[in-house]
Structures are given as structure tokens and as C-alpha cells.
Amino acid sequence: MNHFLDIHKTGAAELRGMIDQARAMKEARKGLPKGAPDAEQPLKDHIVALIFEKPSTRTRVSFDVGVRQMGGQTLVLSSADMQLGHGETIADTARVLSRYVDLIMIRTFEEEKLLELAKHATVPVINGLTDRTHPCQIMADILTFEEHHGPIKGKKVVWTGDGNNVAASFLHAAGQFGFDLTFAGPEQLDPEPEFVEFARSKGVKVEIERDAAKAVEGADLVVADTWVSMHDKDAAARHNLLQPYQVNAELMAHAKPDALFMHCLPAHRGEEVTDEVMDGPQSVIFDEAENRLHAQKAIMRWCLEK
Ligand code: CP
Ligand code: NVA
């Protein structure tokens, strides 16, 4: 079963194949209206369930549009409206949904729920974000980087702020795509050692740096994310800890002159990043958002291929 659960659980060659396919599929539909079908219809006669236990704009819309462009149909489900939100087990939900649909995407809280769903589903499952990782986002980010700056292999990425779910998937990607990653954030919010160890085990350099300006030296890409993720409760403490890691023009000036800026969005302008960076010439945030669509189409194709 081709589940897409995490970047470190999928082979590097297969990940590379998905990025290349995403780029080709994006290119092939240049100039078409958003609702026009792709020339190839790999999801024809397929139904995809999109389950959300947390809010979403990009993941919800990009998956839905992507399925339609590839000829399939979607069911967008909120767990609050399902029996899942009222005591039915995730295992039984997996078994039942597998009788109705061909593919399941879920955005949830605990990673265990995703793993339990995948264990009991007889159709592929895609991770649309958990408290621990966000692999679809980073596939879109790799695509975005390479469109602007060519191969990401050997480049320096600097993650600023919280060592959260998006940072974790960046660390997985560092290992699988072969780029170095510097984490610039407070000790209290370091990424879990397991993620750092995975990247290092693949031979890439991972540095932990408390001084944001020092961290950003020589960066090809600077990345920020919200200081308070959807599952976090300690907002005030996080704001205090993370203030020194705000990405502003002064910080960007320490990176390479052509360094890109990325943010998975939604952003809190004036907190983790300033308007001048968000809207500045180095920012590729809306390309990233668009590329969720193209990257996930390639992921869905891969899921259904075997
Ligand atoms: N970046 C991202 O996953 O956005 P949404 O929460 O809007 O889906
Ligand atoms: N780290 C953020 C990402 C949102 C797409 C969160 O989990 O809320």
C-alpha cells in the first residue's frame, strides 16, 4: 500500500519522482482555467475522502481542486460531523471509509490517529498535517525552491522559530533531498532529536544556532512559521521566547542576497515575519501555496499507482 505518511518513510527516489512529476503536470496545464481537466485523468472513477479535525484553507482547497483536475471526486469531511468525533474508533472509521472511497487524506492532532487510520485502511492514506509533521507542505516547498533556484541538493536552509511539525518535515526532507539545515530558535522549542538524527544519519549537516543573524549567514532559503500552532496552548510564553527570531529585513540581509523566503501560511504578519519580507522580492509564499496543488496531485498519483 502506498501510504504517504511522512517524508522519511518514503524512498528518496520516489520523492524525487513526485517532485519531477508535479513540475511536469504543472507545466502541462499552463494557461488552462482552474477547473479544466488535465489531459491525463488518473483519478477518473476515484473518490477521495478529505477529513479535517483542524481548520484549513490551503490543504482543503488544493486537495479538492487537485482531485477534480485529475478526474476524481471528493468528500470533504469534518470529524465533528462524523461519528469519529463522537466516539467511533479511528480503526472502524478506516475500515468503513475503505469500503466507500479509494483514497483518504486526514488532518488531525496526534500522529497515532494517522498511523491507526493507515493501519486499518485498505486504501492509501495521506498525512495532511498532524501535531508532529506536515509532509505535503514540504513537498510543495521543495518544488518551489527548485523552480526558483534549481536543485536543492547541497543548499543551506535556515528554519527560524519553533521546532514544530513543519520544521520536522523539513528535517526529514533535508535527509532525503540532501540539503543542510540550520535551526535558529530557543532551546525550549528545539525540534525533537529524532528528526535531527534522521537528517544527520543521511549525511547532511544540521546545526542548532541560538543567534538568528549568525544562523542565517550564507542561507539560500529562510523559512518561518507561526509561533503558535493549532495544537499549542502556551501562546504568551511562545511569543516571549520567539520574538528574537522574527524574520525581518534586517535578518534577511544576513542571508545570501538571492536567498528565498518561505512560509507555509497562514502567517501572523508583524509576529514571526514582517510585511516587508512577506511582500518583498525574496518572498515566494504564494508560489508555495500554489504548489501545494501540484505537489499533492503527484502524491495522489503515486499513492494510487501500485
Ligand atoms: N499551509 C497549510 O497547510 O495551510 P492550511 O492550514 O490553510 O491548510
Ligand atoms: N505549524 C502550523 C502549520 C499550519 C499549516 C500548525 O500546525 O498550526
Ligand 2 atom 6 nearest Cα: 229
**Per-residue pLDDT of the chain in tens (306 residues, 90 and over written 9):** 899 999 999 999 999 999 999 999 999 999 999 999 999 999 999 999 999 999 999 999 999 999 999 999 999 999 889 999 999 999 999 999 999 999 999 999 999 999 999 999 999 999 999 999 999 999 999 999 999 999 999 999 999 999 999 999 999 999 999 999 999 999 999 999 999 999 999 999 999 999 999 999 999 999 999 999 999 999 999 999 999 999 999 999 999 999 999 999 999 999 999 999 999 999 999 999 999 999 999 999 999 997
Q: Answer yes or no: is the C-beta of 76 below 6 A from any ligand 2 atom.
A: no
Give me the helices (H) in the chain, please.
12-28, 58-69, 90-100, 111-120, 135-149, 165-177, 193-201, 212-216, 235-242, 249-252, 275-278, 285-305
Which mutation among 50, 65, 129, 131 tests ligand 1's pocket best, with the greatest number of atoms within 8 A of CB? 129
Q: How far is it, in rounded angstroms, from Cα 295 to Cα 84?
A: 28
With a 6 A CB cut-off, is 21 part of the ligand 2 pocket? no
C-alpha 81 – ligand 1 centre gap (Å): 20
Q: What pTM does this model have?
A: 0.98
Helix axes 12-28 and 165-177, enclosed angle (nearest 10): 100
CA nearest to 148, candidates 295, 288, 296: 288
What is the distance between the alpha carbons of residues 220 and 145, in angstroms, rounded to a whole number?
Answer: 9
Q: Which residues are catalytic?
A: 107, 134, 137, 225, 264, 292
